Amino acid sequence: MIFKLKEKCLESSKKEFFYGNIVNKDIVDVYLGLGYLDAGETRAFCPGKGHEEIIYLMNGQIEIVIEGQEFKFKEGEAVHLSGTTEIKMINNSDDRIFFITAGGHTEPHH
């Protein structure tokens, strides 16, 4: 089954969409998401208890803050988050920036 992740992401009011067990019942422990930040947008989130994620920046450059530390996050780079570790993403550019979230469950998930 082919899943149109970018199409679903652009239709979502949350500016992100995850392909996982809610969409495909054959998927148990992993998910893949696509999200974006519009120009000037800031967003904070965390994987959540029992989850871990790798965030991959597809284009451009943004600032990120993890546990009080600020970093420049550039196209082609990835960062790992686990549990309740929060990330704040800041798009100071004039462009829409896309990122991929690859995640999984570190604890049984219902």
Tokens 């991929």 locate to 100
Domain that holds residue 65: 5-105
CATH of the domain at 31: 2.60.120.10
Q: Are 6 and 66 spatial neighbours (Cβ–Cβ below 8 Å)? A: no
What is the rounded distance in angstroms from the CA atom of residue 38 to the CA atom of residue 108? 34
Question: Is residue 110 a part of any domain in this protein?
Answer: no
Which pTM value belongs to this model?
A: 0.92
Q: How many Cβ atoms sit within 10 Å of the Cβ of residue 98?
A: 20
Question: How many structural domains compose the chain?
Answer: 1
Question: Is residue 66 a part of any domain in this protein?
Answer: yes
Q: Please name every residue paired with 92 in a beta bridge, in sequence order, or none if there are none.
A: none
What is the rounded distance in angstroms from the CA atom of residue 66 to the CA atom of residue 87? 5
pLDDT tens digits, residue range 13-31?
Answer: 999 999 998 899 888 889 9
Question: Is residue 19 a part of any domain in this protein?
Answer: yes
Question: Is residue 51 a part of any domain in this protein?
Answer: yes
Tokens 């998401």 locate to 33
pLDDT tens digits, residue range 23-78?
Answer: 998 888 899 999 999 999 999 999 999 999 999 999 999 999 999 999 999 999 99
pLDDT tens digits, residue range 90-100?
Answer: 999 999 999 99
Q: Please name every residue paired with 49 in a beta bridge, in sequence order, or none if there are none.
A: none
Q: Is 40 helix (H, G, I), strand (E, B) or coil?
A: coil
What is the rounded distance in angstroms from the CA atom of residue 43 to the CA atom of residue 91? 9
